[in-house]
Chain A
Amino acid sequence: MDDRTKLELKKTATKIRMGIITAVASAGSGHPGGSLSLADILTFLYFREMRVDPKNPKDPNRDRFVLSKGHCTPGLYSTLAHRGFFPVEELTGFRQTQSHLEGHPNMDKVPGVDMSTGSLGQGISAAVGMALAGKIDKKDYRVYVAMGDGELQEGQVWEAAMAAAHYKLDNLTVFVDYNGLQIDGKITDVMNPEPIADKFAAFGWNVIEIDAHDFDQIEEAVNKAKETKGKPTMILAHSIKGKGVSYMENQASWHGSAPKKEQADQALAELNDYLNSLEQ
């Protein structure tokens, strides 16, 4: 990836992170930690990779994205808004009665959302269905999924993993946002899902490990996934929960709580400083 493209992606990701803070701060609730850890992957997918058209969000030939870790709507909505699916100003209505921006993704209410999720472990199954439909119809769209590393504790994830390999869904790429944290603490303390890479490999998946905050590595992994035939790909993306906001980084407590006004201002100031540094 050339430096210019990378710089643009970094700027966009920073704006998306600012949107995440704005959304959760306006709502007074929501999930900043896992949204911030996923922000670079979302940015890459929506601004560099996926074939989507904000003017035709239901295009049958579009690439699909399923937020299996459905609580990270601040990340998804901010990305969709910045990509033009709806106005960025609407992020301030997040989780509020008069807004379409449901706490968890709703495919009927929010343009650009491809699957309603929220119950962890189901999004990946739905994505298997989408990838299967693509195979039946001989369409060339690709299906992307973002999952949490804690989410891997759901048994249904492994049912879906089995099915994806069984039906050779090489049009399916799953990112595991490997931030090491879930609500009650470290994933390895709560219920150890390790070894994650080996498990997916044993289930017949192509497995790639990357740094979730390095656009070159994200691009390379996605390209490898596209080249891989006969197998789905799992990209184990080492990430920092809360990435980009100093006091939120690697803190389980910021999984599902919103910053107070002063905290939000500090977060936005930090992100804005970073944005300015990129623009110089």
Chain B
Amino acid sequence: MSEKIATRVAYGKALAEIGHNENIVVLDADLSKSTRTDFFQKQYPERHFNMGIAEANMMAVAAGLASCGKTVFASTFAVFAAGRAYDSVRNSIGYPHLNVKIGATHAGITIGEDGASHQMLEDIALMRAIPGMTVISPADAVSTNALVKLAAEMYGPVYLRLGRLDVPVIYDADTKFEIGKGIQLRDGNDMTIIATGFMVDPALKAAEMLKNDGISARVIDIHTIKPLDNDIIVKAAKETGAIITCEEHNLFGGLGSAVSEVVVKNCPVPMDMVGLEDTFGESGKPYELVEKYGLTPENVYNKAKTLLNRK
């Protein structure tokens, strides 16, 4: 658990590992040293194209390449990939269901100092609203590596939500992942904490804190937000009777919304959500922002305790 690696680094390295597949083409928008597609570029410069600071064009170029049989990874910051280029993603990639993988790095407030303009907190909502779009939000380097490879193997558009910050490695190297299947990291019967991305680690820590109070909390990593693993969620609702979701995203339209959609339809139980409370972020040191905006184990723990009173 001591090792810390950013998921964007794991993404870039995974691309380099699968780059021997000549079908893979990587696009970037003047951020290859940040999105870490530079790892791929060093090994396969002939299949790495810098599209300049022109993200909307890049996404539709990716669609054109994919229409000719390429598996395309198009990378930029999440705020530009899902925000600025939304219309290209929707109409040129999503609508024709083309084989483009959007490597969206620097999602969330943990990018820190660049501040609110760069802290994408709406991308899960935007991307999961596109029919047929797979939305992946890995928690650590190991899952990122596996999920990038699985994304490359599957046909169709995928949005990969990645972070800038170095984060703890949670998974053993030999863990098996499947797109669309959540992972139960910890069993428990009193309640369930469902987390994605950066929030999986704080969720595990919160479960440990709850344990000290005699509360047994199940922890589930939803690394694929779409298609969502309904079974694992419904099972958790039935068996534990209360769910708290945790995400580094606005509380409108993200993981919390996605989980509640499943819960209300199948097995309504008391729920609460940890995430950004309909606010933009701001500049600051990542962990200071994490404190300020409540993305901490303590906040998850406190909300969980209150939630249990509603059971």
> A: which residues have CB within 8 A of B?
60, 66, 106-108, 114-119, 121-123, 125-134, 136-137, 155-156, 159-160, 162-163, 166-167
Question: Please, how many angstroms separate the alpha-carbon atoms of A131 and B54 in the complex?
Answer: 18
With A116-B96, A133-B70, A160-B60 already in contact, 8 other A-B pairs whose C-beta atoms are closer than 8 Å: A108-B96, A122-B91, A126-B61, A126-B64, A130-B64, A131-B64, A136-B25, A166-B52
State in angstroms the CA–CA spacing of A115 and B47 once bound together.
22
8 contacts between A and B (CB under 8 A): A116-B92, A116-B96, A121-B56, A123-B60, A125-B92, A156-B88, A160-B60, A163-B61
Q: Tell me which residues across on chain B come within 8 A of A108, comparing CB atoms.
A: 96-97
Q: Are B92 and A60 in contact (CB under 8 A)?
A: no
Interface residues of B in 79-106 (CB under 8 A from A): 87-88, 91-92, 95-97
Chain A residue nearest to B56 (CB atoms) is: A156
B49 interface hit (Cβ, 8 Å): yes
Provide the bound-state CA to CA distance between A156 and B58, in Å. 10
Q: State A108–B97 Cα separation when bound (angstroms).
A: 9
Could you mark each residue 271-296 of chain B with 1 if its beta carbon is under 8 Å from any beta carbon of chain A, else 0? 00000000000000000000000000
| Max chain B C-beta neighbours (<10 A), residue from A114, A119, A131 | A119
Asked if B210 is at the interface (CB within 8 A of a chain A CB), the reply is no
CA–CA, A106 and B98, complex, Å: 12
B88 touches A130 (CB 8 A): no
Residues of B within 8 A of A131 (CB): 64
From residue B62, how far is it (CB to closest CB) to chain A in Å? Answer: 6
Q: In the complex, A125 Cα to B52 Cα: how many Å?
A: 13
Query: Which residue in B60, B65, B92 is a CB contact (below 8 Å) of A133?
Result: B65
Selected from A60, A106, A119, A127, the residue in CB contact (under 8 A) with B64 is A127
**Cα–Cα, bound, A15→B72 (Å):** 40
> How far is the CB of B88 from the nearest CB of chain A, in Å?
6
A20 vs B63: C-alpha distance when bound (angstroms): 28
B54–A162 touching, CB < 8 Å: yes
From A117, A121, A129, A162, contact of B65 by CB (8 A): A129
Indicate whether A125 sits within 8 Å of B64 (C-beta atoms), given known contacts A119-B87, A133-B69, A159-B54.
Answer: yes
Task: Report Cα–Cα, A3/B237, bound state, in Å.
Answer: 77
Could you tell me the distance in whole angstroms from the C-beta of A29 to the nearest C-beta in chain B?
A: 20
Report A-chain residues with C-beta under 8 Å of the C-beta of B189. none
Q: Which residues of the partner chain A approach B49 to less than 8 Å between Cβ atoms? A: 132, 167
Cα distance, A28 to B70, chains bound together (Å): 39
Question: Which residues on the B side are within 8 Å of A123 (C-beta)?
Answer: 60
Q: Which of B47, B57, B72 contacts A128 (CB 8 A)?
A: B57
* B interface SS class: helix
Q: Are the C-beta atoms of B60 and A126 separated by less than 8 Å?
A: yes
A118 to B87, CA, bound (A): 11
- Given the interface pairs A128-B57, A163-B51, the reply to whether A133 lies near B91 with Cβ below 8 Å is no
Tell which of A60, A106, A121 touches B96, judged by Cβ atoms closer than 8 Å: A106
Given contacts A115-B96, A116-B95, A125-B57, contact A159 B67 (CB under 8 A): no
Residue of A nearest to B57 (CB): A159
- Cα separation A156 to B63 with both chains bound (whole Å): 14
- Give chain A residues whose Cβ lies under 8 Å from the Cβ of B97: 108
Q: Which 3 A-B pairs give the minimum distances between C-beta atoms?
A: A129-B64, A125-B60, A159-B57
> CB-CB < 8 A to B52: which residues of A?
159, 162-163, 166
Using CB atoms, name the residue of chain B closest to A127: B64
Note all chain B residues with C-beta closer than 8 A to A166: 52
User: Roughly how many angstroms separate A114 CA and B47 CA in the complex, as a whole number?
Assistant: 23
Complex: A114 Cα to B64 Cα, angstroms: 9
Q: Which residue of A129, A156, A159, A167 has the most chain B CB atoms within 10 A of its CB atom?
A: A129
Q: Is the CB of A129 within 8 A of B88?
A: no
A118 to B94, CA, bound (A): 13
B1 within 8 Å of A by Cβ?
no
Q: How far is the CA of A126 from the CA of B92 in the complex (A)?
A: 8
Contact, CB under 8 Å: A129 / B96: no
B68 contacts A125, CB within 8 Å? no
- B206 interfacial contact with A, CB 8 Å: no
Residues on the B chain within 8 Å of A125, using CB: 56-61, 63-64, 88, 92
Task: Give every chain B residue within 8 A of A128 (Cβ-Cβ).
Answer: 57, 60-61, 64
With A116-B91, A159-B52 as contacts: A122 and B60 at CB distance below 8 Å: yes
Neighbouring B residues of A132 by C-beta, 8 Å: 49, 61, 64-65
> Measured between C-beta atoms, what is the minimum distance from A25 to chain B in Å?
27
Give bound CA distance, A111 to B160, whole Å: 31
Q: What CA separation (Å) do A119 and B56 show in the bound complex?
A: 12
User: How far is the CB of A69 from the nearest CB of chain B, in Å?
Assistant: 14
Most chain A CB within 10 A, of B64, B88, B96, is at B64
Give the contacting residue for B60; candidates A114, A134, A156; CB below 8 A: A156
Q: Which residues of A contact B121 (CB under 8 A)?
A: none
Within the assembled complex, what's the spacing in Å between the Cα atoms of A166 and B72? 19
- Encode B3-31 as 1/0 by CB contact (under 8 A) with A: 00000000000000000000001000000
Contact A122 B87 (CB under 8 A): yes
Q: A118-B91, A122-B91 are in contact. Are A134 and B61 (CB under 8 A)?
A: no
Residues on the A chain within 8 Å of B92, using CB = 115-117, 119, 122, 125-126
Bound-complex Cα distance A170 to B54 (A): 21
Measured CB to CB, the closest approach of chain B to A64, in angstroms, equals: 8
Is B162's beta carbon under 8 Å from chain A?
Answer: no
Q: Which residue of A lies closest to B59 (CB)?
A: A125
